[in-house]
Amino acid sequence: MVTKEQIINVLKQIYDPEIPINVYDLGLIYNMDISDGGDVNILMTLTFAGCPIGSYLVQKVEEEIKKIDGVKNVKVELTFDPPWTPEKMSEEVKKEFGYGDK
C-alpha cells in the first residue's frame, strides 16, 4: 500500500523552478488522499493564480507520484481558496529564509 510518507518524499524532490524550495515545504500541497486501491488525489495551490509554471508543476507532481510502486492513478486538483501565503511554508524553510524574524 502507498503511504503518505512515500508521497511526501517524492514531493520534496519537486522544486518550483522560480523559487529554490520544494513544493511540499513551500506549502503548496493542501491535502492528499490515498485509496486502498492506489489512487492518489492531491489538492494543491500555486504561489499566485497567474503563476506561469503552474501547469508544469501540476504535470511534474502527477508524473513523479505515478512512479511510486502501488500507485494506480493520480489526480492533481488546483485550488486558490485559500490563497497561498508565506505562512504555509514549513518551519524549516521559514527559518532558512528568515521569515518571521523581527
pTM greater than 0.75 (yes/no): yes
pLDDT tier at 101 (50, 70, 90 boundaries)?
Answer: low
Asked, for residue 58, whether it belongs to a domain, the answer is yes
Cis ω before 52 (30° cut-off from 0): no
What are the pLDDT digits (tens) for 12-40?
999 988 888 999 999 999 999 999 999 99
Q: Please report, for the chain, how many H helices and E strands are present, in that order.
A: 3, 3
Domains contained in the chain, number: 1
Asked, for residue 21, whether it belongs to a domain, the answer is yes
Domain that holds residue 78: 4-96
Average per-residue pLDDT for the chain: 93
Asked, for residue 38, whether it belongs to a domain, the answer is yes
Asked, for residue 102, whether it belongs to a domain, the answer is no
Residues 6+ apart with CB under 8 A from 72: 37, 38, 39
Asked, for residue 65, whether it belongs to a domain, the answer is yes
Asked, for residue 101, whether it belongs to a domain, the answer is no
CATH number at residue 81: 3.30.300.130
